[in-house]
Each structure stands twice: as C-alpha cells, then as structure tokens.
Amino acid sequence: MKNIPSVDLSDFLSDDPERKQKFVNEIGKAYEDIGFVALKGHFLSDDLVENLYSEIRKFFALPVKTKRKYEIEGIGGQRGYVSFGKESAKGKKEGDLKEFWHFGQYVENDPKLEAEYPANVTVEELPEFNTVGKETYKMLEKTGVYVLRALALFLGLDEHYFDSYAKNGNSILRPIHYPPITSEPKDAVRAAAHGDINLITLLMGAQGKGLQVQNHKGEWLDAIAEPDELVINVGDMLSRHSNNRLKSTIHRVVNPPREKWGTSRYSIPFFMHPISEMPLNCLENCIDEEHPKLYDDITAGEFLNERLVELGLIKK
C-alpha cells in the first residue's frame, strides 16, 4: 500500500469537464493534506526515460577527474556537475551522500533571462547526454505546466495564472547518483530531511524504498511510485504563495538496509521554478480571519537566493 495518493493527468487533459474537475479536486486535496501525489499520464515516453537513465549512468561512471572538469566555480552549482558531499540540507552540516548534474532552462526569445541564467554545460565524452537531457527537461516542464493549471483552478485563480511565470522559469533538472555505501555513514544520509525551494518538484525514479515523506503527525511514510508514475510535491514557493493552503512537505532519502549498501541509486527530480520576478506574496483568496497572512512579501528570485545561501551553495 503506497502512502501517497495517485492521480492521472489524462483526466485533466480530457474533454470531459467532470473528469477534469475530478483531477483538480484530487490533486488539490492531496496537496492540502500531505503535499505529495504519484502522477500517471505525463509526457515522458518509456524510450526517453530509458535513454536518460542510460546516459546518466554513463556520466556518473566517468573518472572523477573527468567529471570534475564540468564542476563550474562561482555559479552556486546551478549548472553542470556537483561533486560528492558538497550539498547539505538547511541546518545540517554533514554533506549528503550524493553527486549530481544540473540541466537548466533553454531560454526562448528573452535575451534578458538568457543573460541572467548560467549556460548549460556540454559533456564532450557523451554525444547524446545533452540531447536526451534537454528533451526530458522539456517534457517534465510541459507536465508541470498542466499540474500548475489544475492547482490554479483549485485555488480559485484563472487556469493560466502560472503560465507566464513558468515560461522560461529558472527550473532545474537534476540527475542524482547516490553511490554504493562503503562504510558506516557518520550522521549522513543520502538526502537529509528538507523541504524543496521551488513551486513544484516532479521526481523520476521513486520506484524503490528510500524516499520518505513526513505527515502532519510527524510520522515518516514511504513514498513509492509505480514504474510509469512521477512523484510530484509542493515546494516552499507555492506553499508560501498559497498562504500554506498547499503544503510543502518535509521529505528525505534514507540509506538502504545494509545488504543493499553495495548498490547505486539514481533519482531525477525536476525542480520547477518561476521567473525570478514572480511575486510570492500570499494570494488574497487564501487569506481570511481563520487563515491570517503568514509570510512577508518577497519575489521568487529573492527567496531562491536566501535559500541557496542557507544550503551552502552560494556565499553571502
């Protein structure tokens, strides 16, 4: 029994108003309750998923010296390679047991944003790596736009409210490699308990145990998806914008049982960010006498910068 609700995007995409509303109600209630869903009916084909996993396995298997070539100084790890143990959760000094890569936005018709975002990094040794990464990025972004449309309707907004903020947004596709564990970890887990910074996160690779979410009672529940499902959760930006009506749930990736220490784990989250000018002010229709305004006004860019400092990825 999986502990997070399952929804099907094809309901929302259908021409049947009842099915569409059913999806809006289901995903909205799940995000009010636990902040996570498993989603079928997304835009990733089986072939694309297989090709992506093949390419990222090849990349992480490259010699450390080769991978380090793609670790770019001075950009807070926003593009290219981030080596083992560099990132830690907010308030935690131990680095997580992972290495990862970042694909960023492929800006269309906006020179200002093109100048604002770091350029994507090309891996010379793997001719298909960047092509497959870009296609996956686009398909996850497309899926995310429809999820945000459903959430806009749930919050009583225009269906396309988020579209202009998501277009050319500062989103990140992060293939992660959790290498085999070779000795007793000292206080470090594969990913310590944290909330995501962004609007929503779309996660590939939650088929096995490891990812856990915390419910309102503080209990840790396994979040396990079917092979054809993405796990999608609310991030802190959307939680803040909705005055905490939609919940950004604390989650973690725990170390496997000792008998599985010798295996790698791969997971691929897509962190959907808006453009940096998006105001994250609490929505008026999420504020009333019972739900007073919880957060100060801030833009997405200001909020992201604050959090990257807290994570140790950029210096003050």
Query: Three-state SS for 93?
Result: coil
Look at residue 88 in the predicted model and tell me its pLDDT: 46
**Alpha-helical segments (H) within 117-235:** 129-154, 163-166
Look at residue 59 in the predicted model and tell me its pLDDT: 97
For residue 71, give both structure tokens. 């670790």
**Alpha-helical segments (H) within the chain:** 9-13, 17-33, 46-60, 64-68, 111-116, 129-154, 163-166, 236-241, 300-310
Q: How many CB atoms lie within 10 A of CB 95?
A: 16
For residue 13, give both structure tokens. 């995409």
Give the distance, in angstroms, between the CA of residue 263 and the centroid of all CA atoms in the same chain. Answer: 23
Select from 276, 283, 46 the least CA-distant residue to 155.
283
Residuewise pLDDT in 10s, the chain (316 residues): 457 899 999 999 999 999 999 999 999 999 998 888 999 999 999 999 999 999 999 999 999 999 999 999 888 788 999 988 654 445 544 545 789 999 999 999 999 999 999 999 999 999 999 999 999 999 999 999 999 999 999 999 999 999 999 999 999 999 999 888 776 666 555 566 788 899 999 998 766 677 888 877 888 888 888 889 999 999 999 999 999 999 898 888 777 777 777 778 888 999 999 999 999 999 999 999 999 999 999 999 999 888 888 877 666 6
Q: Which domains does the chain have, with CATH numbers?
A: 6-310 (2.60.120.330)
Select from 296, 208, 287 the least CA-distant residue to 2.
208
Give the distance, in angstroms, between the CA of residue 81 and the centroid of all CA atoms in the same chain. Answer: 17
Residues 6+ apart with CB under 8 A from 138: 106
C-alpha–C-alpha distance, residues 67 and 125, integer Å: 10
C-alpha–C-alpha distance, residues 58 and 310, integer Å: 32
Look at residue 92 in the predicted model and tell me its pLDDT: 46
C-alpha–C-alpha distance, residues 89 and 86, integer Å: 10
Contact 160, 149 (CB under 8 A): yes
φ, ψ of residue 178 to 5 degrees: the values are -95, 100
